[in-house]
Amino acid sequence: MLKNFILIGSDTMVDEDLEEKLSGLNLSYEEIEENILIQLPIPNAGFDNKKQAYFDCLIPYDLDLGKAVFAIGLIYEDDEGKKHLVSWGRVHKTLQTKQVGGTYKYIIAVTSEEGGVIFKANDYITTSELEIATERLRYTQFSTSARLGKMILDNSAKNHNFNFKKEI
């Protein structure tokens, strides 16, 4: 299970060696290990409305690395404790200092059936969950309103003997 993510970066905003590593498609944990700034837990993961897997990667506001973040990666640790870089993606370069935090919503297209929540580590609702719930609620409200409106019209027509003319 993917339980952790990493911030990949450098001491400076310009690092040609790291840029070279990130230009390749197949990057391993070992290749990027020296550029890992920090490993943090993924508090929440699931599927969005487009049935894509998402991972909320929370960056604490009080995290002060004083280093530039170039990319974010998802880490899998096998039964033997060996870490694997499952997926990674570039982010807009930022200097990670105090008061610069938030959540990266890491999205991966998956070719399978939606499975609901992958895991959840917090008692509170995340931004991703709120977006999904809001979208589902909008659909439910529209669907219910449309059915209710049809029932009212059908009922009114029966009770009041309305005759609807079909115009050509």
How confident is the model over 136-150, as pLDDT tens digits? 665 544 444 444 444
Is residue 40 scored above 50 in pLDDT? yes
Q: Is 134 found in the same domain as 74?
A: no
H/E segment holding residue 139: helix 127-160
Contact 52, 33 (CB under 8 A): no
* pLDDT level of residue 24 (50, 70, 90 thresholds): confident
63 and 85 in a single domain? The answer is: yes
SS3 159: helix
The residue among 93, 76, 83, 90 whose CA lies nearest residue 25 is 90
Q: What's the chain's average pLDDT?
A: 75
Task: Decide if pLDDT at 162 tops 50.
Answer: no
Q: Which candidate, 56, 94, 92, places its Cα nearest to that of 74?
A: 56
Position 46 pLDDT exceeds 60: yes
Do 131 and 117 fall within a single domain?
Answer: no
* 3-class DSSP string for 39-94: EEECCEEEECCCCCEEEEEEECCCCCCCEEEEEEEEEEECCCCCEEEEEEEEEEEE
- Does 130 share its domain with 89? no
H or E segment to which residue 131 belongs: helix 127-160
Asked whether residue 160 carries a pLDDT value surpassing 80, the answer given is no
Residue 144: which domain range? 125-160
Q: Is the pLDDT of residue 23 over 70?
A: yes
Strand partners, 95: 68
In a shared domain, residues 154 and 109:
no
Between residues 108 and 143, the one the model is more confident about: 108
With a cut of 60, say whether residue 117 has pLDDT above it: no
Whether 117 and 130 map to the same domain: the answer is: no
Is the sign of the CA dihedral 9, 128, 125, 102 positive or negative?
Answer: positive
Q: Are residues 102 and 141 part of one domain?
A: no
Strand partners, 53: 47, 108
Please check whether residues 31 and 15 belong to one and the same domain: yes
Percent of the chain with pLDDT over 70: 65
